[in-house]
Amino acid sequence: MSEILRIIHERQSARVSFDPEKPVSKEDLTQILEAARWAPTAHNMQNFEIIVVDDTAILEKIGNIKSRVSEEFLRENLEQLSFSKAELLKRKTGVLGTNFPQAWRDPSQVAKVARETSPAPLSQRLRGSPTLLLVVYDSRKRAPASHGDVLGLMSLGCVMENVWLMAEALGLDLQILSAFSGKHVETEIRKLLGIPDYMKIAYACRLGYPTGTDKYFRVRRDIQDFVHHNRFGNKEL
């Protein structure tokens, strides 16, 4: 297996706490940002900016911002859950339900959970991360002839992948935090960090060194499950 494929295989979302006393070095951070710099973007628009936050006082203020889990997320998340390893192996997509609280796994409780669960501070998601990367983009721009800026959004995904693979190669753990693009959180973050109104938060990445192990069960479809040769439906490669 080539080195790049090994890194791709081993990359995963870190869900454990990070050591707040073990900072990300400037050298490693520079390499991660260099990887982001060379991410492919539609029309070479380079439609992103990255805000690096490693000031503990600012991280604490971000951690005090509260976020609520929506009913929409809970319902759509349920569709991706398997409730045993055997089921997940059969489906080959999604995640194990045990990765989430018990109340999130009961369809009859979704509305109640969304209604009654109190907003939680972002510190519960940052979990000791010494460095946070906020990826933002200019909402006034879009790739040429790209309805809804699909190509621009794909470009932000390319930035994510480059950052993630470089972090993995450097021995750093990373987790994408989509809650930062939620309306309330984004408004508070914008005020705190002085982000202009026309800049939108795409996602945040928490970076750091784990305080424990977090190797969870993962699956992928087989190549023959998603590859079609010369004609859709022809699975012979």
pLDDT per position as a tens digit, 89-116: 999 999 999 888 888 888 888 888 888 8
Q: Bridge partners of 134?
A: 51, 204
Q: Are residues 90 and 200 in the same domain?
A: no
Q: Are residues 64 and 74 in the same domain?
A: no
Q: Are residues 52 and 73 in the same domain?
A: no
Q: Are residues 90 and 141 in the same domain?
A: no
- For residue 56, being part of any structural domain is answered with yes
- Residue from 150, 151, 174, 153 nearest 163 by CA: 174
Q: Are residues 51 and 162 in the same domain?
A: yes
* Chosen domain end from 117, 150, 178: 117
The CA distance from 7 to 91, in Å, is 24
- For residue 33, being part of any structural domain is answered with yes
Q: pLDDT tens track of the chain, all 237 residues?
A: 799 999 999 999 998 999 999 999 999 999 999 999 999 999 999 999 999 999 999 999 999 999 988 889 999 999 999 999 999 999 999 999 988 888 888 888 888 888 888 899 999 999 999 999 999 999 888 888 888 888 999 999 999 999 999 999 999 999 999 999 999 999 999 999 999 999 999 999 999 999 988 778 889 999 999 999 999 999 888
Q: 28 near 130, Cβ under 8 Å?
A: no
Range of the structural domain that residue 100 is part of: 69-117
Backbone angles phi, psi at 197, to 5 degrees: -60, -30
Residue 22, domain CATH: 3.40.109.10
The CA distance from 179 to 36, in Å, is 21
The predicted pLDDT at position 213 comes to: 80
- For residue 19, being part of any structural domain is answered with yes
The predicted pLDDT at position 8 comes to: 93
The predicted pLDDT at position 157 comes to: 97
Q: Are residues 50 and 133 in the same domain?
A: yes
The predicted pLDDT at position 215 comes to: 76
Backbone angles phi, psi at 212, to 5 degrees: -160, -175
Q: Are residues 61 and 75 in the same domain?
A: no
The count of domains in the chain is 2
The predicted model scores a pTM of 0.92
The predicted pLDDT at position 165 comes to: 98
Pairing of the two strands 173-177 and 131-138 = unpaired
Q: Are residues 57 and 138 in the same domain?
A: yes
Q: Bridge partners of 58?
A: none
The predicted pLDDT at position 90 comes to: 94
